[in-house]
Amino acid sequence: MIGSCRRGGSEESTVGTDPEGTIPPMASRLVVALLPLACVAYAAAALAWRHSWISAVAGVLIALFLWARHPRARFAAYIFFSAMAIRGALTAAWATLAFAAIAVLVMQTAPARAAWPRLRPGRVRSDRMPPP
């Protein structure tokens, strides 16, 4: 098989593979690495040019959630990018609006959905709260 490793076979190495035994494609690695880096870059820009500590802290927190693959990272990123887009539209900061729109579009790609799955209604409460 091209691009995959067999489990239990001694002829191919399984080092650096994902749990299913396939090597992740480059697009997946890029999305997982670049989206959190873009959040950190936005945080630095918000701090440097606008002196906005709240935006800087929020950008770093979202980046940490994405890097850690927190179960609610995708939802938090959508809230962050939506707030950024609204602020960009209201203040005529078109570069900020474009950045937020592109980030939301990147979150819709298959590699992003694989890295940060959507919240499921039954799973949301069960991981933090006991059933009623």
Check: CB of residue 42 under 8 Å from CB of residue 99. yes
pLDDT for res 103:
94
Residue 77 three-state SS: helix
pLDDT for res 89:
96
Domain boundaries, the chain: 26-116
Per-residue CA distances from 127 to 5, 25, 64 (Å): 32, 30, 20
Total-model pTM = 0.69
- Tell me the residue length of the chain: 132
pLDDT for res 5:
43
pLDDT for res 1:
39
Rounded average pLDDT per 10-residue block, the chain, 132 residues: 42 43 67 91 92 92 93 93 94 93 92 83 59 60
pLDDT for res 128:
61
pLDDT for res 37:
94
HSE-CB for 127 with a 13 A CA cutoff: 9
